[in-house]
Amino acid sequence: MTDWVHVLGIRPGITAFIGGGGKTGTLLRAAGALPGRAAVCTTTRMQVPDMPLYTGTDLSALRRMEEAGPVCIGTVGEDGKLHAPQIPVERLTEAVDYVLCEADGARMLPLKAHADHEPVIPRGARVILVAGTDGLGRKMEEVCHRPELYGRLSGLAPEDRVTPEAAAAVMRKEGYGDLLFLTKAETLGRQRAALHLAALAGMPAVIGSLWRDSAYSLAMEGGTIPLPGFGRRPRVLIRGAGDIASGIALRLFGSGMDVCMTEVAFPLTVRRTVAFSGAVRAGETTVEGVRAVRAETAGDAERLMARRVIPVLVDPACVCRTALQPDVLVDAILAKRNLGTRLTDAPVVIGVGPGFTAGQDCHAAVETMRGHTLGRVIYTGSPLPNTAIPGLIGGFAGERVLRAPADGVFRALHKIGDSVQAGDVAATVAGQPVTCMLTGVLRGLMEDGTVVTRGLKVGDVDPRCKPEYCETASDKALAVGGGVLEAALHFLNQMEWTSG
């Protein structure tokens, strides 16, 4: 875990937090880790923290409080917010070792300029200026509190995007802060932009992410000190490990990203020769030269990714997300509906196929319907709805798909890559034949012994008669994978600029 008290240089006395959105979260993260008695308060107003509240004026009573953790001091107004304590903030150090004070507001916007009456900094306080890196690269009018003032200080028009140079100009002109904390730096793009801003701001700086619990300090004695989890390769967690999900994994892995996948305990994959889901039963598998290995824990997955191997976890609920902290989460389960993925699951969330709406449950969605829009990235709205009609391959659609004729155990009579004729029986289910409707090559076939239900897809005949196609990801999988890669890079790199 990151020692936020050490990283932010918090010492006994008063520390004031000012600036953009992220102040309260930063203040509370530090307060929970302080070694001595601590008080949390505000000189303006803030959300009431979830901790014991003292509203009195008696310092001796405050000293006698035996709370194990920090105490919130102030009064709760009619607006439901915490207001300044009745005791002068400067006197609180007579009763506690540390005072952490939120000294202005930003209406939850990542950046701000200060009006004449703010910030309200207690005498003798060390000041931490907080700025959200999620505001960089976006329109000034959308991400800045007091945009008119911010525009005057930075030279930006309301519709101009905030650059590191502009943000640094505001900070230098205002002159507030003993330390700059650039927060929400979860992606490489934000980290690079933050490093650029830190170099221009004219004060010691820390770049970090409370969500990832990591930081990179440029403020400590001895120079730049990297802390765990910062500056790693982009990490992608893919829900699902079927053939389409595997095509996505190949694109992302081939682009230098670390990839981890999750699956159910008994995958129903048809195109098994090109799906990393095979690692669930076999322990490991290789697709187009990329190796995947079953992992039992998130720690196993970390070690495999460090060796440039794709871990596959049996984790249908994606519980590993909390431990792995991916930069990008891709839902490629292809259930035709959202099975629980949320916009807040990762800094970048991408939904694949029908059932997702960009801007609501994901940041972007990718089209999976064969045709003109296959693989296109959707930043607002949803992919085309499911038609239940397979796409055309070699001029055939529904005829190429083999379905279970009954509930029961699937018994394969052929293997993937075999040539079949129309009328051949490729398998049986509960003794009933699974009959090929056309001539071609068995591109996919359910694993022998799998329990299936009537109507489930259990095989796929490719009328192009190319056995070698069975060993490589399909055009559809790679097209969808390309769309996911585009969406991931769009968000990961959206805050990179060239100077001048």
- The strand order across the sheet containing 82-83 reads 45-46, 82-83, 75-76
For 33-42, what is each residue's pLDDT tens digit?
A: 998 889 999 9
The pLDDT assigned to 39 comes to 93
Give CA–CA dist 454/135, Å, rounded: 52
User: In this structure, are residues 497 and 478 in contact, taking their beta carbons and an 8 Å threshold?
Assistant: no
Give the confidence band of 224 by pLDDT, cuts at 50, 70, 90.
Answer: very low
Quote the DSSP letter at residue 393: B
DSSP states of 304-355 = HHHTT-EEEEE-TT-TTHHHH--SEEEE----SS-SS--GGGSSEEEEESTT
- Average pLDDT score over residue span 340-357: 94
Q: What is the pLDDT of residue 498?
A: 30
For residue 73, give Cα distances in angstroms to 70, 121, 453.
10, 16, 62
Residue 222 pLDDT greater than 90, yes or no: no
What three-state secondary structure class fits 473?
coil
Mean per-residue pLDDT over the chain, rounded: 91
Positive/negative CA dihedral, 134, 136, 138, 140: positive
The DSSP code for 471 is: G
CB atoms within 10 A of CB 303: 12
Mean pLDDT value of segment 82-96: 94
The pLDDT confidence band at residue 281, using thresholds 50, 70 and 90, is very high
Per-domain residue ranges of the chain: 4-226, 235-389+475-486, 398-463
When pLDDT is averaged across residues 456-466 and rounded to a whole number, the result is: 94
Q: Does domain 4-226 have CATH number 3.30.70?
A: no
Q: How far apart are CA 107 and CA 375, in angstroms?
A: 38
In the structure encoding, which two tokens stand for residue 360, read together?
């609501």
Judge whether 287 and 275 are in contact, CB under 8 Å.
yes
Tell me the pLDDT band of 398, cut-offs 50, 70 and 90.
confident
- How distant, in Å, are the alpha carbons of 170, 261, 382 from that of 248? 42, 11, 19
Q: What is the pLDDT of residue 497?
A: 38
For the entire predicted model, the pTM comes to 0.66
> Strand, coil or helix: what is 135?
helix
Query: Which of the residue ranges 354-363, 374-383, 386-395 would you say has the lowest mean pLDDT?
Result: 386-395
Q: How confident is the model at residue 66 (pLDDT cuts 50, 70, 90)?
A: low
pLDDT above 70: residue 210:
yes
The SS3 assignment for 386 reads coil
Q: Is the pLDDT of residue 410 over 80?
A: yes
Secondary-structure class of domain 235-389+475-486 per CATH: alpha beta
pLDDT band at 220 (very low <50, low <70, confident <90, very high): very low
Residues 205-233 have a mean pLDDT of 66
Q: Is the pLDDT of residue 68 over 70?
A: no
**In angstroms, rounded to a whole number, what is the distance separating the alpha carbons of residues 186 and 218?**
17
CATH architecture for the domain at 398-463: Beta Barrel (2.40)
Q: Which two tokens stand for residue 297?
A: 């824990």
Instruction: Work out the pLDDT band at 412, boundaries 50, 70, 90.
Output: very high
Amino acid 399: pLDDT? 87
Q: What is the rounded distance in angstroms from the CA atom of residue 140 to the CA atom of residue 148?
A: 10
Structure tokens at 417: 């890559």
Reading phi first (left if > 0) and then psi (alpha if -120 to 50, else beta), residue 375 is in: left
Q: What is the pLDDT of residue 118?
A: 94
Per the CB < 8 A criterion, the answer to whether 84 and 74 are in contact is yes
pLDDT value of position 492: 81
Does 398-463 match 235-389+475-486 at the fold level?
A: no
pLDDT of residue 219: 53
Q: How many angstroms from the chain centroid is the CA of residue 7?
A: 24
173, 153 Cβ separation under 8 angstroms: yes
